[in-house]
Structure 1
């Protein structure tokens, strides 16, 4: 009898289970829909931003175009840097970069994405788009940095084109330099230098990139701050990012970009963090900061931006709210 009663109750049990399952699915779908709506609402409130050192309008416009089309922050900064790498008139980046004292153009670059992944190349000859090469190192190798001939070999096996990076203009400048062979940093060389970029995309992610031909007429083999994580560039997607330009040796000694991000983590605004990082440099014992330039830009997760330099005339470009503009940075020596 008990078995018969159980068999008779099976339809009722099944119906109850089906009802519970239906209720669960409805609640689950409602929660998913609510989460999706919340995500869309947050994304709709995000203002996409791109910032880049110095006044490179083509670079910032290229980055802006990526963001306007819904692209990632990483795509934006890479495309922005590529614009200047391909510009032979820019003698501090890519093709046309000023050579070392032996007449060789060597390039450095790095990228850092929202996941904290990092890729860099240093001392690369014959490859124009080293920013793309740095990204490939990050995404397609188990390493973080490739150097010199190894980096060039990796580039050529991955479809990059080998080309002479020394233009006639840069060659002439090098030959003129050899007459006196004076080796010293020039403040605000041609009112521009390394290009570093940061971007905040519609997903709320921050990435950064930095590319350079390094200090003009440097000793062969010299590497500055630009491709070194924490110095020329640092990004923490929970906090923000920072980029440096100027005399790399001084940025390296204070791990400037990492310092700025950590200061922002502690609650400082991007502006306050940039100012503190410059003060760390000028307050070092026996610092001859009046003879060199260092500049920083920073961006946090709220979309707030900051910049600061030692000397006057540093500027940065910014894309925000559909507009691009060049902004003169505040600087340290105005009160000294």
Structure 2
């Protein structure tokens, strides 16, 4: 026969034991050393990440959300006409059209992206609108432009005089065929493969931030490979390839030849490796080694780099070739530039 009094007593005892058990478990896990000191923090790819981090820090230092920080941060290279690999001023495709790719992801797993977007200076903000205003993740080409204009973005010419001049110079010897890393030829027509990776693969800014609440967001934006086939899409706007965030684990982003990152779902791989206990640097190294092992001959002539941060605010990077650098900004250091480790 069911005894209500015994049941209530037993339930209360079980609840008490459960509470004690949870307390014991919590007390058994030491606080992460330096975590409060490390957060908030923002990291980003390449030397132009220093200026981008500075603007992101304006948000983070005031207790702002990491999503707002990464959007505001990457606005800086997107608007810099001297930066010919991101946004306004980016080198065009072989048809002379500047097409931009970007994606953004927040701590809740929400994400948005635009692909082959023309005439809009800040594709990262259009990507955020896709995330927040539509049921979709990606919009491309004319559809992405139509959506941007409907959202109030200004249509403008993104081909600067200097980028147009460079494109016309490239046309003198260009061959109309899809050649991997063809933008190398703009720098050295005679021996494109002799150039170190860092001279021609600064094609992306990837940014990761953790705010004071411990929430992680990321952004990635680029004008893509110079003189690419019209319509070519790299890894930058693809969630899981150019960028991935898991608020329980960390975030990762990539730079370099996007085709190889896509084939290995690189940023997702880095985050999953961190979930298994890899440090950020070790996870980035393993992702690089996957590319090298699959295509050793291809890897000799291209650059791919990964940058990652874990939930504790620990960060690290690794690249195929020498020359990859990344910027770090937190309460202790505002303009730190670190040379990433590499295989070659």
TM > 0.5 fold call:
yes
Structure 2 residue matching 1:136: 3-state secondary structure: helix
| Residue pairs, 1:116-265, within 5 angstroms | 116-181=109-174, 183-185=179-181, 186=184, 187-189=197-199, 192-265=202-275
| Residue pairs, 1:1-336, within 5 angstroms | 47-56=39-48, 57-181=50-174, 183-185=179-181, 186=184, 187-189=197-199, 192-285=202-295, 287-324=297-334, 325-333=336-344
Q: How far 1:66 moved relative to its partner?
A: 1.1
| Compared CA separation, residues 54 and 80, structure 1 to 2 (3 A) | same
The gaps in structure 1 that reach 5 residues or longer are 1-41
Contact 1:281 1:287 in 2 (8 A): no
Pick the structure with greater CA Rg.
1
Q: CA separation in 2, counterparts of 1:215 and 1:76?
A: 26
Q: CA separation in 1, counterparts of 2:331 and 2:68?
A: 19
Q: CA separation in 2, counterparts of 1:250 and 1:66?
A: 34
TM-score, normalised by the number of residues in structure 2: 0.82
Aligned pair count reads: 292
The gaps in structure 2 that reach 5 residues or longer are 1-33, 185-196
- Which deviates more, 61-70 or 130-139? 61-70
| Compared CA separation, residues 145 and 257, structure 1 to 2 (3 A) | same
The equivalent of 2:15 in structure 1 is none
Contact 1:196 1:210 in 2 (8 A): yes
TM-score, normalised by the number of residues in structure 1: 0.84
Q: How far 1:58 moved relative to its partner?
A: 1.5
* Off by >3 Å, runs of 4+ in structure 1: 42-46
